[in-house]
Amino acid sequence: MRNLLIFISKYNAFFLFLIFEISSLVIYIKYNSFQKATFINSSNQVTGNIYGRVNKLNQYLALREINDSLVKENAKLHNELASSFYADTAAKHEVTDTVFHQRYTYIAAKVINNSVNRANNYITINRGSNEGIAKEMGVICSSGLVGIVVNVSPHFATIRSFLHKDSKVSAMLADTRDIGSMVWDDELGPHTGLLIDIPNHVKPHVGEDVVTSGFSLWPAGIKIGKISNLKAKSGGFFLNMEVALSVDFSRLEYVYVIKDKMALEQATLEAQQKKDE
């Protein structure tokens, strides 16, 4: 308190000048209509700019909630796609009874770690076994195919990105539906994959879509990319071609983990077949 009083007494002339200056401005503006109107307009403009900036800040802070809401809504829409269902059809006495059952469901998750510049790249998400995620589940995003779940804990999961030297996905040309395999090599970079084992009688064209075939962990028709080069490495009796990937892995924020309700039944049957062989 003593220091404050010393400070005020030391600079009393400045404080008196400030008080008189503010008082004179108030009187000048209050009793002159033109200056009063100018001051009000200026203050309204300043206040409006402040409100505008505060509103933009609030909108920015709300983006996370908006994104989470949109991702959940997208997962719901994925669950309602026709490709998520299968038809249970039985013909009896020339009457066909068809009932559609849900096969695929989608679990939304946020990417919390990711790599794109290695030979073997992985992604970590903030969902795990507590949300129903398990190993060997396919993963997509709004742009297309992402990878496969390889490890799971109660609250997290790691995904083997398509940008991995062991990636091999059953794929097909969207126009002709000819089937091959999508693979990746770090020499191609993070934006390009290789479609291999397409029969050499097929006539693909640059710009043709490449999608999942439905013979693996993903429903048929999930986008992988577009053919960008027909003159890739020679495949002998088969065609190999470069594909511009539809997913920009460096900008992944949200993904959808695909839960196939019939995966265990199919895997058990196929394992028995291998055992019989």
CA 159/CA 134 separation, integer angstroms:
11
Which CATH number fits the domain that encloses residue 193?
Answer: 2.40.10.350
Whether the Cβ atoms of residue 232 and residue 242 lie closer than 8 Å to each other: yes
In a domain, 231, yes or no: yes
CA 34/CA 230 separation, integer angstroms:
75
pTM of the predicted model as reported, rounded to 2 decimal places: 0.66
Spatial neighbors of 247 by CB under 8 A, at least 6 apart, are: 141, 143, 144, 145, 146, 162
In a domain, 226, yes or no: yes
In a domain, 207, yes or no: yes
In a domain, 102, yes or no: no
In a domain, 78, yes or no: no
Phi and psi angles of residue 202, each rounded to the nearest 5 degrees, phi first: -75, 145
Provide the residue range defining the domain that includes 206: 168-249
In a domain, 173, yes or no: yes
For 108, the token pair is 């939304």
Per-residue pLDDT of the chain (277 residues; tens, 9 = 90+): 667 667 667 767 776 777 767 777 677 666 666 655 565 555 545 555 665 565 566 555 556 665 665 666 666 666 655 555 444 443 433 444 344 567 888 998 999 999 999 999 999 999 999 999 999 999 999 899 999 999 999 999 999 999 999 999 999 999 999 999 999 989 999 999 999 999 888 889 999 999 999 888 899 999 999 999 987 665 567 889 999 999 999 999 899 999 988 877 877 887 787 777 6
Q: How many separate domains does the chain show? A: 1
In terms of phi and psi (left: phi > 0; alpha: psi -120 to 50; beta: otherwise), the region of 177 is: left
In a domain, 29, yes or no: no
